[in-house]
Amino acid sequence: MTTALYRRYRPESFAELIGQSQVTDPLRSALRADRVNHAYLFSGPRGCGKTTSARILARCLNCKEGPTDTPCGKCDSCIELSRGGPGSLDVVEIDAASHNGVDDARDLRERAIFAPARDRYKIFILDEAHMVTPQGFNALLKIVEEPPEHVKFIFATTEPEKVIGTIRSRTHHYPFRLVPPGELLEYLGTILESEGFSAEAGVMPLVVRASGGSVRDALSLLDQLIAGSESKEVAYQRAVNLLGFTHDELMSEVIEAFAEIDAAKAFSAVDKVIQSGQDARRFLEDLLERLRDLMLVSSLGNDAKAILRGIGPEQFDILTIQANRFGLSDLTAAAEATSKALSDTSAASNPRLQLELLCARVLAPVSQRSLAAIQQEPAAAVAIPVTAPVAPAKPPAVAALATQEVKLEKTSELAKPAAEKIALAPEVNITRDEPEAKSVITEPRQPVVPIQDITTATVKAAWPMILETLAKQSRSAWAVAFTTKVIDFKDEVLTLLFQSQNDVDAFKSSQGAAEVLRQVIREQLGVVVKYRAKVAEAPVKPKTKNTVEPTAAEEFTTEEEIEAQDAPEEVAHASEPEAEQAGEFVLREVLGAKPIKGEAS
């Protein structure tokens, strides 16, 4: 039978404690200067060294050569408080979870009165101090405030806010933190080597991720992997299965499916995740982690190695290849979709549906951008001899609508981002060597349409795509503009219909909403617009007879409605005699009035 790793490798001095320099440095300085306080409060997450630091502090205080910041390890007190030591009579560890009442506090207060049996101080270590009741803390308040000279208190807790303020204010509070991944990874490597084991590439980063920065958790997981290993090398496949992470091959398959816009491969990978019984949230966490790595590689290149610790050269090369197949904007959009799916999965009853929806969200924008790029390629394949300054190329949304009329249902598919403007030059000859470009070159050259030919119909057709692009660039600007409707476009003046005057004011006063929308329109249609606002207010009924203005035939759906527009509808008004008779009827029937004799007709 073997002892657990976290017990065998428990630090015995502050120098051996990793990742807690914000605690160890001031404590060692206080010990060297002999300015030790009578009470300390150690707080922080589990497994980060609170209780261990309390024992080390007790060794430093009761060492024969102390108080010192480095225990000698040879005196009776140091030996008794070492890893395998039986413990000291003058160092009392109390589990506050089971000794949290007033009676326990009274017993501790009575024990504190007596002098130490052998050492310099009688030290009380209260672990899980947040479990002590308010009444128990109040019973300890007096002795913690004014203890005997030979008494020291060390409170260790994961929830310092539950320790009452009157106790906290009488202690020196030292907050412990989770150990950084790089430092923890190096520490685990030394322990694995000292145990005579090795690990395949990628195993140790998985242990660090699973531990969440807790040293004790990391040592427990490493101990479990070592115990379950059939050889002196910890296998990656066994670590993945045991820790519940997504295998690197399956993760690469998902990333490649996103890069290739292969829906079949993406949904097949989702099916593998579900059929293997893997937790959907863990898969999404792994996917988000991989997308984050790809974003770092895409942004920093080889400099990302300094951040992506624990990744071997071969795995980094794979990340580089995968990152080069995406753009940074594509990776950001995929990461945002994954983060949303991760938050939605916690309350979802069908995790498979959430994973499939994620694939659809990631693949749909990429498919649209790729289709737009394919449709823009023929424009660059045409050989255009230029002998005079050439107007900028007409955007795809304008070119598509200038040759044929389209229905409003298909306008969002026809509006595409603007092509790059052709630079002015005395002669330009753009050719392509691909076979598919030959049929394009043989077509007769079409004259370039000036931007002034953009019509109201063009803007209306491109409006859904403009709003979609606006939403990606600025959600606040989109929230102001998404209820507007295009009324007219003429001489670079865009007339927009707002639902109310409040919407107009918000559009004007919003932080850059008008300017962001102007920039999006410029990217989509290649024109810088000015705005004119109209408010859709309910019309006031005129006193005269109303008529219905003729409406364009395409606004109606049936021939009867088209014919009905030619005949203005008249609004009937009651004549004066009829109005008098109606008033007389109300007086007589409702109010019971009777006509005066001589005036009744």
Query: Is residue 391 over pLDDT 80?
Result: no
The yes-or-no verdict on residue 392 having pLDDT over 70 is no
Using DSSP, state whether 408 is helix, strand or coil. helix
Hey, what are 120's tokens?
């310099």
* Reported CATH class of domain 5-175: alpha beta
Residue pLDDT, tens place only, 130-154:
999 999 999 999 899 999 999 999 9
- 320, amino acid identity: T
Q: What is the CATH code for 246-381? A: 1.20.272.10
Q: Which CATH number fits domain 392-538: 3.40.50.620, 3.90.1150.180, 3.40.50.300, 3.30.300.180?
A: 3.30.300.180
Mind listing the pLDDT tens digit for each residue in 66-97? 789 999 989 999 999 998 888 899 999 999 88
Output the pLDDT for position 194. 93
pLDDT bin (cut points 50, 70, 90) of residue 13 is very high
Rounded CA-CA distance 552/433 in Å is 49
The burial of 350, by beta-carbon neighbours within 10 Å (0-12 exposed, 13-18 middle, 19 or more buried), is given as: exposed
Residue 18: is its pLDDT beyond 90? yes
Determine the average pLDDT of the residues in 328-342. Answer: 90
- Cα Rg of the chain (Å, integer): 39
Helix segments in 261-302, DSSP class H: 263-275, 280-300
The predicted model scores a pTM of 0.57
| pLDDT in the model for residue 405 | 40
Which one, of 373, 338, 374, lies nearest residue 354 by Cα? 338
Alpha helices (runs of H) in 212-276, residue ranges in sequence order: 215-227, 236-243, 248-260, 263-275
- Per-residue pLDDT band for 58 (boundaries 50, 70, 90) equals very high
Q: Residue 585 pLDDT more than 60?
A: no
Q: What is the mean pLDDT of the chain?
A: 78
Least confident of 250-259, 496-505, 509-518, 572-581: 572-581
Q: Is the peptide bond before 417 cis (omega within 30 degrees of 0)?
A: no
What is the arithmetic mean of pLDDT over 575-593? 55
Q: According to the model, what pLDDT value does residue 185 have?
A: 92
5-175 against 246-381: fold identical: no
pLDDT score, position 537: 60
For the chain, percent of residues with pLDDT exceeding 70: 74
Contact status, residue 473 vs residue 520, Cβ threshold 8 Å: yes
Q: What is the pLDDT of residue 380?
A: 43
Per-residue model confidence (pLDDT) at position 575: 47
Residue 81 has φ and ψ, to the nearest 5°, of -100, 15
Residue 584, token pair as written in the block: 């007389």
CA-CA distance, 288 to 332, in Å (whole number)? Answer: 10
pLDDT band at 223 (very low <50, low <70, confident <90, very high): very high
CB–CB of 63/76 below 8 Å? Answer: no
Q: What is the mean pLDDT of residues 213-239?
A: 92
50 close to 43: Cβ distance less than 8 angstroms: yes
- SS3 state of residue 94: strand
CA torsion sign for 214, 220, 224, 226 is positive
The answer to whether the CB of 130 falls within 8 A of the CB of 157 is yes
The token duo for 208 is 């660090």
Q: Read off the pLDDT band of 498 (50, 70, 90).
A: confident
With a cut of 60, say whether residue 389 has pLDDT above it. no
Distance CA 227, CA 219 (A): 12
Annotated domain spans of the chain = 5-175, 246-381, 392-538, 551-601
Percent of the chain scored above 90 by pLDDT? 34
193 pLDDT higher than 70: yes
* The two structure tokens encoding residue 435: 């076979």
**Nearest 5°: CA angle at 574, between 573 and 579?**
150
Rounded to whole angstroms, how far apart are CA atoms 466 and 469?
5
- Residue 117 pLDDT > 60, yes or no? yes
Cβ partners under 8 Å of residue 305, min gap 6: 311, 316
Mean local confidence (pLDDT), 164-186 = 93
CA distance 75 to 65: 9
